[in-house]
Chain A
């Protein structure tokens, strides 16, 4: 990433404007052409700096209110396989392996699921449990979202 890439991303940090040519604004701010802005965005996606370009929605506002952290106890030799299987489900937005704490915390695979209601969340966890053949898991529904911001922000 060079200085211009950073400037482009910074200019779009709070989203693009809903003007007919939204990238014209970004081009003006960064002193390059619109075509170059677009080319650079495509490159940043292919390099993985950007996971995607598009809309971020507040899912709670459209009724997807059940957010659950589902934690799994997965045998070490199955983590890779189970992690990949779980990641293939669209309902799972996050899937991480985490360290355990002997005597205190035994769950090593963490998934976040989003559903329209608690019942669907529980059913989905059950379905996953069957699919991977693992019975030791817990569904931790969120009671309240206390903070949610973007981790990946850029300084000017």
Chain B
């Protein structure tokens, strides 16, 4: 994937929209004032960034723990190459699986499961193990014991 070129105004606009979104009736006008461009230009630029797929959305970023989704774990699996596609299809079916990555390691598949109860978490893990037929010994279940940080923000440079 080639990186999209952003001009200086796009970069500043993204930075402000990420870090200091104005909760006002006309937020685009407030942003425009800061950048010395018009409200219309802010809207046009954001729409373009959205169309290009750079912006996923502008809205509330919620804390799962406050929404009764407090139990989560990270699972790592050693999946043989020839089984990978099948295993990924099964895992990605689960709504409780939010992130799933192929990584450079003997444990090559890493995914997170978040549920509202320990019981549901345990059941989901057991079901995934049964359906994917990955042996117990090739699975790591690494529950969260403490969360220090979650803050997905970037420097637009």
Give residues in A with beta carbon < 8 Å to B. Answer: 1, 9, 12-16, 18, 20-24, 34-35, 38, 41-42, 44, 47-65, 67, 69, 79, 83-84, 86-87, 90, 92-99, 101, 104-105, 110, 114, 138, 140-154
Contact = CB atoms under 8 A, between A and B. Distances in A.
Nearest to B54: A61
Given A90-B155, A146-B101, 12 more contacts: A15-B59, A18-B47, A21-B25, A22-B27, A55-B18, A57-B54, A58-B54, A61-B3, A62-B154, A94-B150, A97-B144, A114-B154
A79 B59 CA distance: 34
Contact of B62 (A23, A24, A50): A50
15 contacts: A14-B57, A22-B28, A23-B25, A52-B21, A54-B19, A55-B57, A56-B55, A65-B1, A69-B101, A96-B146, A142-B102, A143-B102, A146-B109, A147-B99, A149-B98
Interface residues of B, number: 75
Given A83-B148, A95-B149, A140-B110, A67 B23 contact: no
A103 B95 CA distance: 32
A131 B94 CA distance: 39
The interface centre, meaning the residue of A56, A57, A149 with most chain B CB atoms within 10 A of its CB, is A57
Nearest to A144: B102
Interface string B56-77: 1111111110110100101000
Contact of B60 (A21, A41, A58, A145): A41
A53 B56 contact: no
Determine the main DSSP class of A at the interface with B: mixed
Given A38-B23, A84-B148, A145-B101, A60 B60 contact: no
B67 A144 contact: no
B28 A18 contact: yes
Contacts, number: 223
A67 B88 CA distance: 19
Determine the main DSSP class of B at the interface with A: mixed
B26 A140 contact: no
A144 B104 CA distance: 10
B57 A93 contact: no
Interface in B93-152: 97-105, 108-112, 114, 140-152
A144 B79 CA distance: 14
A53 B153 CA distance: 12
A64 B141 CA distance: 29
A149 B94 CA distance: 11
